């Protein structure tokens, strides 16, 4: 694991680098999705609004659930600048910013929100950064052959633990691949707008809920962690979306033919 590495005179933080690569890859995937479906979306504007707002909400969500006395008092700016990030906070922030853009530019709601499944690619890459930095969100001790220790991690441990970050990466990559296949414009029967969004919420929530049983996160309610409680809510939301759009009587819009 290498939380910090050097390339000539330059110093890089592996977590920040992975986040940057993830954002670029996720953005390119979204751009490709929008183009293949004939949606005119300004990707530069998209990034300048959605990404910062996602980071803001990810940091705020992390601070809300930190059990640190006086976290909102003096020194808040410093703690905010160097605090953690949560996936669900970032996802909610990005979704809210995207909905604002859709409102302003009158983009098709469900079709545009479907593109959020590309977040799974960015998140999977970001979790590799968590693994490389050993930032403390690894799992409980394990004797499995692939268990690892983080003696030089940001939050070091000599115990062999579950690399839950990589579990998330594998799950999110598989989810992205499956949904990317389903989003293809070559399908004889295109999916109704909104189905991809619903399936993504179902898929990512199931993966996070299961992996959380191996985490070291404190429980929030009913013996479940914050991430598991949110996962249940997202699963129900995703299921509702899929059922609603599947039952709605409307024609499935024809997709543009691939060039």
- Look at residue 4 in the predicted model and tell me its pLDDT: 76
242 inside domain: yes
- Look at residue 196 in the predicted model and tell me its pLDDT: 95
220 inside domain: yes
188 inside domain: yes
The pLDDT of residue 97 is above 80? yes
5 inside domain: no
Average pLDDT on 130-137 reads: 89
The pLDDT of residue 222 is above 80? yes
Q: Report the chain's mean pLDDT, rounded to a whole number.
A: 84
Average pLDDT on 94-117 reads: 85
Number of domains observed in the structure of the chain: 1
**Separation CA 199–CA 232 (nearest Å):** 14
1 inside domain: no
Model confidence at 82, pLDDT cuts 50, 70, 90, reads low
Return phi, psi of residue 220, to 5°.
-110, -45
- Look at residue 258 in the predicted model and tell me its pLDDT: 46
Extract the tokens encoding 29. Answer: 């995937």
pTM of the model: 0.83
Percentage of the chain with pLDDT > 70?
Answer: 86
Domain boundaries, position 29: 11-69+77-247
152 inside domain: yes
- Look at residue 195 in the predicted model and tell me its pLDDT: 94
């Amino acid at each position: 694991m290498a939380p910090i590495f050097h390339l000539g005179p330059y110093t890089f933080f592996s977590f920040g680098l992975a986040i940057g690569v993830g954002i670029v890859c996720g953005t390119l995937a979204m751009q490709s999705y929008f183009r293949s479906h004939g949606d005119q979306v300004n990707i530069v504007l998209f990034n300048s609004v959605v990404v910062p707002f996602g980071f803001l909400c990810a940091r705020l969500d992390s601070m809300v659930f930190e059990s640190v006395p006086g976290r909102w008092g003096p020194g808040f700016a410093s703690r905010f600048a160097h605090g953690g990030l949560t996936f669900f906070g970032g996802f909610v922030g990005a979704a809210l910013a995207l909905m604002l853009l859709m409102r302003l530019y009158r983009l098709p709601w469900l079709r545009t929100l479907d593109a959020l499944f590309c977040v799974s690619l960015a998140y999977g890459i970001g979790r590799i950064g968590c693994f490389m930095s050993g930032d403390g969100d690894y799992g409980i001790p394990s004797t499995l052959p692939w268990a690892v220790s983080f003696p030089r991690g940001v939050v070091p441990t000599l115990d062999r633990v579950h690399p839950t970050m990589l579990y998330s990466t594998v799950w999110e990559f598989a989810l992205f691949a499956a949904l990317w296949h389903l989003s293809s414009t070559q399908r004889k029967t295109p999916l109704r707008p909104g189905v991809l969004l619903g399936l993504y919420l179902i898929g990512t929530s199931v993966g996070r809920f299961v992996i959380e049983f191996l985490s070291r996160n404190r429980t929030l309610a009913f013996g479940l962690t914050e991430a598991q409680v949110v996962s249940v809510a997202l699963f129900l939301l995703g299921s509702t979306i899929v059922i609603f759009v599947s039952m709605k009587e409307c024609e499935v819009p024809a997709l543009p033919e691939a060039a």
